[in-house]
Amino acid sequence: MRTRMFIDLYVGSLYLSSSSEQASNIVEDNAPMAICLEIESSLISSDKLQEATREGFEQSIGDISAMEPRIEQLLSAFDEPIDVSDTFLLSWDPAKSVIQLHRNNFVISEVPGLDFKQALFGIWLGDSPVQGSLKNEMPGLSS
């Protein structure tokens, strides 16, 4: 559960073909995988999700200027209003070398590049994750 100031914001789940003891290996890996975000709070708006995702990229990789167009492409998928119980699935397809963003089971965006996948997954699984306890409790990551 991703929380902020004692408020449950979303449930984050990690899907892997096999579990891993090292989050860094998951971030770097070029195997099929996904992160699912299930919205739990009406406090999550499109603007807030876009802002938090941009900040997550900055925490994950530092200078985002080289990825800015692809980050904006992903963030534009959050333009529509967000409702409690919306589900966002960020799935990596190594055969096509794209992140597919699904909203409530519909693909709404595809963003290319293994480097982009690594930066995106680094938001939750990197050295400076958005929330350490969420990283440590994600299914698929054995500690």
pLDDT in tens, 73-129: 999 999 999 999 899 999 999 999 999 999 999 999 999 999 999 999 999 898 887
Q: How many domains does the chain have?
A: 1
Residue 38 lies in a domain: yes
Return the pLDDT at 136: 64
Helix 46-61 × helix 68-76 angle, to 10°: 150
Return the pLDDT at 27: 93
> How confident is the model over 48-61, as pLDDT tens digits?
999 989 999 999 99
Nearest to residue 122, comparing CAs of 58, 68, 36?
58
Query: Rounded to whole angstroms, how far apart are CA atoms 95 and 107?
Result: 17
Query: Helix and strand tally (H, E) in the chain?
Result: 5, 6
Return the pLDDT at 72: 97
Is the pLDDT at 143 greater than 50? The verdict is no
Residue 25 lies in a domain: yes
Residue 142 lies in a domain: no
Strand ranges in the chain using DSSP code E only, listed in sequence order? 2-4, 7-16, 33-39, 87-93, 98-103, 106-112
Is the pLDDT at 2 greater than 60? The verdict is no
Residue 101 lies in a domain: yes
Domain with 124 in it:
2-137
How remote is the C-alpha of 30 from its chain's centroid? Answer: 16
If pLDDT is split at 50, 70 and 90, which confidence band does 138 have?
low
Return the pLDDT at 131: 66
Residue 80 lies in a domain: yes
Helix/strand/coil for 84: coil
Residue 143 lies in a domain: no
**Residue 127 belongs to domain with CATH number:** 3.50.70.10
Is the pLDDT at 4 greater than 60? The verdict is no
